[in-house]
Structure 1
Amino acid sequence: MGLFLQHKTKDIHWAIWKMEESQESLLTLLPAFRRISCEQEMQRFTSERRKMEWLSVRVLLYSMLQEDKEIIYSSEGKPSLGDHSFFISISHTKGYVAVILSPIAPVGIDIEQYGHRVKRVYDRFIRPDEQVEPYLGDVTWSMLLHWSAKETIFKSMENADADLRKLCLSHFVPQKEGTFQVQEYATEQQQSFAVGYRISPDFVLTWTIIK
């Protein structure tokens, strides 16, 4: 399948890769000089799924930019590009990986497969003052959007508080795609963020840029 969906403006560029190829097929989509190093680096993962996610991210990044970029990670696990040409954020869920880039400001992205597990951890991330509206009669979609949006903000903030209940979504009625506001109460600044979202048949996607 490969490149599944993408969106590009002057400030951000995000894309989703659907993981259906074999490792061997994915490697052929990278520059020849990069393939050997990727094969070697993947050996540190014992999980085949983790290998596919790691490799698919590199292939997706290359397809977005049409040039080779090295991804490095901070001690906290936050990704950046080796040449600092773009801010980057990465996410993955079953069957998909997502990458967002910006040349001007920190970004965050999160993709979550549809599933009811989110209901079991509802009280860990939903605040009493948040309203969770159903999408097509199913509240699971909105719960996933709340979780995903807060993960997106967490990824984009510096030294973010891991308590997702310190982030509050404004009231919104989910549509297939749109934007809503998220207020953070984790810092003295108490910033407000605009978060874009899309609902697909088997996942939700959220993204933001901190200007």
Structure 2
Amino acid sequence: MSLFKSWKSDGAVFAIWKVEETGGELRAMLGDSLPYDAELSALRAESRRTEYLAVRVLLKALCGEEKQVGHFPSGKPFLTDQSYRLSISHTRGYVAVALHPSAEVGVDIEQVADRVLRIAGRFMCAEELDGETEAVKGFAGDSRTSTLYYMLLHWSAKETLYKLMGEEEVDFREHLRVMPFHLQQQGGFVAGAYKSFPPASYQVCYMVHPDFVCTWSVQAKKYF
């Protein structure tokens, strides 16, 4: 089994699975009582099928039993037995899951890759871009790695907020804002959501790893 990391925060359980198994090996970890094969048949790409199975195996590891995942029209996932609120994320080689018995929860995991450098202006406002120099001071890493982490954390945090908000047509650059923070291997910051009135703030936690960044939050929003 490849449970990479699990932890608890604000009443929620979070976990990351490192996907080292083949799709066949993951499928063998699950039974036949849920419609896995029918749902798998709708997924064309092998990578998507593997991610699908890894999420179900991780849910089984966390809950002690297999769980069926449904999706709202918006695409937001939920457990059909309503035992927990659910958030799911995946990136190359990893999947992440968050569970909370009553509160909305969000988790996001992103591969460390250069693409974020080319598109940062699409999801970061001028103040966020200008804050990089101060944010990365003292971080134990070279300047390129620090920049990647800083920008990826903005994207990932806004993905996490989007999952918590449950709203459509959210513009990451205009409606979501990450407040200034100092980059560390693991930490947290405040992020604001401005699409609705009154604007709300959320506490977002994060970790950085050579392969990925991960952010998470539980819906305990406060109003500015």
Check the 8 A contact 1:125/1:164 in 2, yes or no.
Answer: yes
The answer to whether 1:14 aligns with 2:5 is no
Q: CA deviation at 1:92?
A: 0.4
Q: What is the 5 A alignment of 1:159-178?
A: 159-165=167-173, 166-178=175-187
Provide the aligned C-alpha RMSD in A.
1.4
Alignment of 1:27-66 (within 5 A): 27-34=27-34, 37-66=35-64
Residue 33 of structure 2: SS of its match in structure 1? helix
What displacement does 1:142 show?
0.4
Task: State the TM-score, normalizing by the size of structure 1.
Answer: 0.94
What is the TM-score with the length of structure 2 in the denominator? 0.89
Q: Which moved more, 1:78-87 or 1:161-170?
A: 161-170
Q: Say how many residue pairs are matched.
A: 209
Choose which of 149, 160, 184 in structure 2 pairs with 1:152: 160
For 2:127, what is the secondary structure of its paired residue? coil
Q: Contact 2:170/2:195 (CA < 8 Å) preserved in 1? A: no
| Deviation, structure 1 residue 10 | 6.0
> For residues 127 and 25 of structure 2, what CA distance do their matches in structure 1 show?
48
The alignment status of 1:191 with 2:200, answered yes or no, reads: yes
1:93-146 deviation digits (Å, cap 9, x = unpaired): 001110001112101110000011001111111111222233523211100000
Q: Give me the whole-angstrom Cα distance separating, in 2, the residues matched to 1:40 and 1:151.
A: 29
Task: Using the TM superposition, name which of 1-10 and 37-46 deviates more.
Answer: 1-10
Q: Distance in 1 between matches of 2:73 and 2:10?
A: 30
Q: Which moved more, 1:108-117 or 1:130-139?
A: 130-139
After TM superposition, the structure 1 stretch with the greater mean CA deviation from structure 2, 109-118 or 126-135, is: 126-135
Aligned to 2:87: 89
**Structure 2 gap segments, 5+ residues each:** none
Aligned with 1:129: secondary structure? Answer: helix
Q: What CA distance in whole angstroms lies between the structure 1 residues aligned with 2:10 and 2:215?
A: 18
Which moves more between the two structures, 57-66 or 37-46?
A: 37-46
User: Partners in 1 of 2:176 and 2:46 — Cα distance?
Assistant: 34
- After TM superposition, the structure 1 stretch with the greater mean CA deviation from structure 2, 154-163 or 25-34, is 25-34
Determine what percentage of the aligned residue pairs are the same residue: 40
Instruction: Give the Å deviation of 1:53.
Output: 0.6
Q: Given that residues 10 and 218 in structure 2 are in contact (C-alpha distance below 8 angstroms), is that contact kept between their aligned partners in structure 1?
A: no
Q: In the aligned structure 2, how far is the partner of 1:92 from the partner of 1:173?
A: 26
